[in-house]
Amino acid sequence: MVNMGDAGARDVEVEIDVDRLVAHACRLVRDDPLLLHRFEPRRPDALAAELGRFVSETLARHGVRAAARFAGYVRRCRLSPEDYDRFGHYLLTAALVCRVGPERLVLIGAALTTLRLVAVDGAR
């Protein structure tokens, strides 16, 4: 559980179901014919496993470390900048659906930006 404040209100403890968030993001990727083939189609469980670690570490406030670990997987998938942006959009959409809250949404967005710099822009 992570303790989150609510704009002047008393602190509220909100637990995030990372598995649900990851499952939703993976479903969005699988439904996108332009993106699905990029994520190791012979190992459909790989994205969920890698993404689960990335999101868990990010929400534990280890975004830079999470991005560094997830970067190898993203490089192997050979995502173009456009592919990566689609993937990031799906992950953030899943986070919104799971109601992670603004602070955690910013954490995930910041980690995605770091990951893009390391694994996509830096790999070019």
One-letter identity of residue 114: T
Reported as a single tens digit per residue, the pLDDT across 55-100 is 999 999 987 888 888 999 999 899 999 999 999 999 999 999 999 9
Query: What is the C-alpha end-to-end distance of the chain, expressed in Å?
Result: 38
Residue 10: pLDDT above 50?
no
Residue spans of the domains in the chain: they are: 22-121
Which residues, listed in sequence order, are joined to residue 6 by a DSSP beta bridge?
9
* pLDDT at site 36: 82
pTM of structure: 0.84
Q: How many residues does the chain have?
A: 124
Pick the closest to residue 25 from 79, 96, 76, 116 (CA basis): 96
